[in-house]
Structure 1
Amino acid sequence: MSPGNTFAAELRKAATLPASGVAAAVALLGSSLVTVLNSVSARVALDAGRAEPGSLTSPFELGYAAVPLGTVGAVVLGVTVMSSEYTANSADAGGGRQITATLAASPHRLRLLLAKALTVVLAVAATAAVTIPVCVLIARLVVGDAAPETVGPQEMLHRFLGAALYWTLTGLIAFAVTVFTRSGIVPLVLLTVNSSLVSFSLLLTNVTPLAHWLPDMAGRRLFGGLGTVEGGLDTVPGAIVMAVWTAGLLAVAAAVFARRDA
């Protein structure tokens, strides 16, 4: 199978997975719901004259405030693209795993892994391209002209690209970890909790400043104007460090996937 056909097959496979729809829904609907709540609260405060100076009232800021939640969707997408290969089929279907048929159709393992990684990139980028503008649009519709826009077009673009990059790198890290585990349970639980409930890396910064060099902490400033932890790396160095982490994990995952039995 040619590289193009392998990539197209992986795209079709990912698009038909129920978990892919769940991941997109988590990113889009979850972020939209948070945006609605934030925007309604801000509009009520503005109409009542209770909005304090410096409070979050800019439509873009209100919509963008929910964007980090979409990282969970990126994690689910990254995990699903690989973990689906190792999920056992039903007894009626022979009880085997998809990975056997996949390798029979595309025996070049590195090419297959590259096609899957590109699938993660495209899926996460497409989700970000829909979710972030929708959140900002919701905020604009709710707030209306009650508050002026304080973020310029160039900054909007930079922060949109930064968030999309963070989502994409996170999805690829989740994908690489799933290659190691050959199961989606461990990476899904750990990375989802780390992205939404409590950041283990953030806790480690209280123990050692070296924790700022871990991938999620290094790239956190890609979200731009959102409140972040003091210290650590600036936006560009942090993005480079996170990208290096991602490339390193993908390289190790490729070596593992190429050498071990299916």
Structure 2
Amino acid sequence: MTGSREPATTGSHEPATTLVRAVAAELRKTATLPASRGALAVAMLGSLGITVLNAVSVRNALRSGQPEQVGYTSPVEAAFSAFPLGTVGAVILGVVVISSEYTANSPDAGGGRQITATLTATPGRLALLTAKVAAAAVLVLATAAITIPACLALAHLIIGTPFPAATLGETAARAAGTALYWMLTGLIVLAITVLTRSGIIPLIAGIVNSSVVSVSILLTHLTSLAYYLPDLAGLRLHGDDPLDMFPGALDPLPGGLVMAAWTLGLLAVSATVFTRRDA
């Protein structure tokens, strides 16, 4: 008599379980890194600080009867004008998630790199990189979920203008777009750091391009194709440009799709390189 066989289920959920554990481990590791805490502080405290400065300037201009002294009088614009610092924080976090693995330990600890121990704990390289991407995305989005509403509330409190209910939907869309922009920027820099295995070049390039002199903006003077570069493609995810400084910028939906395509493409390239080359 032929015995019945139970369907084999043991281990069928192991890949998913391994990935979940890897994501949790990377979240804990990343959140405890001093550089990561610094990145989150830049995004949160920096944005709040600039919001205060912007809002005070607007309030003083309104009280003096000279609103023309400022580029805008809206508390919403006072808050959103501060959010480039959130992008800088996302850049730093995206770099640190990867570069910390390749930084040499102290001689007392053997002088090795963390990547060796990490790959021992999580042998699947694709799973490891996926976990790092997920950890970075979660931390950036969580930071945005706290920072953006806090900045908006603070700007309204300082300027003294009640929040207009008619613009609630538009403001919520801009907040979501800003959070998406921060996240995609952090993941783009993460992918580049995988390729360089060093955080120096991605960190400098990312911070300078986000806050000082954007190479992409300079390129717009040469060709309108520069608006399809990732940082400019997603520019209007923050909302319309109140000063009309970038008339050729893509609308939020197509711009967001272009920026997302850049992100996915760079992550795919970095995953291929990461899984094939030596640690």
TM-score, normalised by the number of residues in structure 2: 0.90
* Distance in 1 separating the partners of 2:250 and 2:46: 29
Residue type matched to 1:172 in 2? Answer: L
Query: Partner of 1:52: helix, strand, or coil?
Result: helix
Q: Percent identity?
A: 58
Aligned with 2:234 (options 208, 219, 226): 219
Which residue does 2:274 correspond to in 1?
A: 257
Matched positions, count: 261
Query: Partner of 2:246: helix, strand, or coil?
Result: coil
* Distance in 2 separating the partners of 1:91 and 1:207: 50
* Distance in 2 separating the partners of 1:156 and 1:74: 21
Within 5 Å, which residues of 2 pair with 1:109-188? Answer: 109-145=125-161, 149=164, 152-188=167-203
* Distance in 1 separating the partners of 2:59 and 2:100: 43
Change (3 A) 1:149 1:48: farther
Aligned with 1:197 (options 212, 218, 238): 212
Change (3 A) 1:151 1:27: farther
TM-score, normalised by the number of residues in structure 1: 0.95
Within 5 Å, which residues of 2 pair with 1:2-41? Answer: 2-41=18-57
Within 5 Å, which residues of 2 pair with 1:72-111? Answer: 72-111=88-127
Unpaired runs of 5+ residues, structure 2, are: 1-16
* Distance in 1 separating the partners of 2:70 and 2:97: 42
Which deviations, in whole Å up to 9, do the C-alpha atoms of 1:184-230 show, x marking residues without a partner?
A: 11100011100000110111111122111111111111110334411
Which residue does 1:64 correspond to in 2?
A: 80
Which deviations, in whole Å up to 9, do the C-alpha atoms of 1:119-174 show, x marking residues without a partner?
A: 110011011111111111111121114x7748611001100010001000000000
Which residue does 2:13 correspond to in 1?
A: none
Aligned with 2:262 (options 245, 248, 251): 245
Change (3 A) 1:249 1:13: same
* Distance in 1 separating the partners of 2:30 and 2:175: 24
Deviation at residue 53 of structure 1 after TM alignment: 10
CA RMSD of aligned residues (A): 1.7
* Distance in 2 separating the partners of 1:148 and 1:29: 23
Larger deviation, residues 224-233 vs 123-132: 224-233
Query: Partner of 1:152: helix, strand, or coil?
Result: helix
Q: Which has the larger radius of gyration?
A: 2
Which deviations, in whole Å up to 9, do the C-alpha atoms of 1:73-107 show, x marking residues without a partner?
A: 00001111011000111111111100000000111
* Distance in 2 separating the partners of 1:11 and 1:148: 35
